[in-house]
Structure 1
Amino acid sequence: MTTLRFLFILLVVLNALAFAAIKGWLGSAAPGGEPERISNQLRPEQIRLGAAGMEEAAQAAPASEPPPAPDEAPTAPGEAPAETASETGAPASAAVAGSEPAPPAVPEAAAPPAAAPVCVAWAELPADEADRLAARLNAAGFKYVRTRKETPSSWWVRTPPQGSRAQAEKRVGELRELGITDTFIVQESGPSQFAISLGLFRTEKSAQQLLVQLRAKGARDANAEPRMTTTFRIQASLPRDRVAAVEGRRPPLSERRTACTQ
């Protein structure tokens, strides 16, 4: 048998085997088309409808598969599972509704500390200035201490009151006979009415010098006494930034202000 004949016989045998495989004579047959492929995939003889079919499918499921967690709801085919609060950091209802999370609460700014009070005193105040300052402190709600002070503003050389104008004029005539001509009868009502003024001085020393001269001339009843001026001192404790508001626009108050201790 020649080689060419052997190859021809081998080719015929191979073609016969291929034809038998296509026809299914060798035990398996290729699908005959799309309808047959679909029929083989669905396997309609294994489909069970209703509760019986579901029960058989559940029994056929492997025992190793854990049951769904009780808090997880089953999802329909093709539906994505809803995000939980642990995954999104917000409630599921807020994620579904699409609402934005509320902005974080802004902490309230701490109130600035109150200014420490300082001790302030206003001295040498006339009565009217002291009254106005006291009223301002009362209106602002600040407590204060008000003190009175009597200081000599001048020194007055005079004779005692004479009891009547006639007696005062008679005494003036006697003083002139002694060489004392600088005299003045006090006319205003009060404790010094009908006294005879002989001089007014700023210092006690000057008043005492005149008094020595008058007595040397014979005016034994002459004397020197201070003329008193009443002033007031007000002390209060208040914040430094409120001092100017209490004083108002009155320069004399700021000029008479001094620091003090409680």
Structure 2
Amino acid sequence: MLRFFFWSLLVLNAFLLAFNLGYLGHWSLDNHEPERLKKQHHADQLKLLTAAEAVSPSEPAAEKKPEVIACLEVGNFQQNDIPKFEEKLKNLAMGDRQSRINVVDVATHMVFIPSQGSKEGADKKAGELRRLGISDFYIVQDQSNLRWGISLGVFKTEEAAKLHLNNLSNKGVRSARIGPRTVSTNKFAYQFRAMSAEEKSKYDVIKAEFPAQENRNCQATAYSKS
């Protein structure tokens, strides 16, 4: 029995010695927050959140999607403008996202130069216009009293016709005038669908060479596909 007590006391003393030296870890029941933080790894990198931040944690900003233009239309082109414009469009390479359409342009006011009496006279006047930098016109060849005259544009409103006449006058055209005339002229426009920002930049370079043409929404004009 004495031997049993001897060994029991020896084990107990050994246990107390190991506990006091810290070999058995820290068993303190006083385990409050500051004490626990001191024991954590990289405690200096911890960030305390406010109540608002805890309720609505910040999320990474959503990646901005590239802007895409649903449908852009440009026009209206005369027949003789089409080859040059389409040659430029080859660099855009939009495939089946690009199409040409027929636009019926009804106007009631014409800016024109009266009949020159003959084809030769009309050709001479056309040459003068080209030297002034004017190319958007055509020689009238029907059987009306305007035969061998030159049409410089037809417009839906008189105000638009007067503005065009004033621009021509500033360029040196003195014999043009405005007259009532209701005609339907077939012109052409182009539509570009799902155009990216990069494609729009390339398109703007092309469009700059055709300042008389107008950009618009695809639904702005009645048309039929050619």
Q: Give TM-score scaled by structure 1 length.
A: 0.32
Instruction: State the TM-score, normalized to the length of structure 2.
Output: 0.36
Per residue, is there more strand in 1 or in 2? 2
Between 1 and 2, higher relative CO (CA 8 Å, sep ≥ 6) is seen in: 2
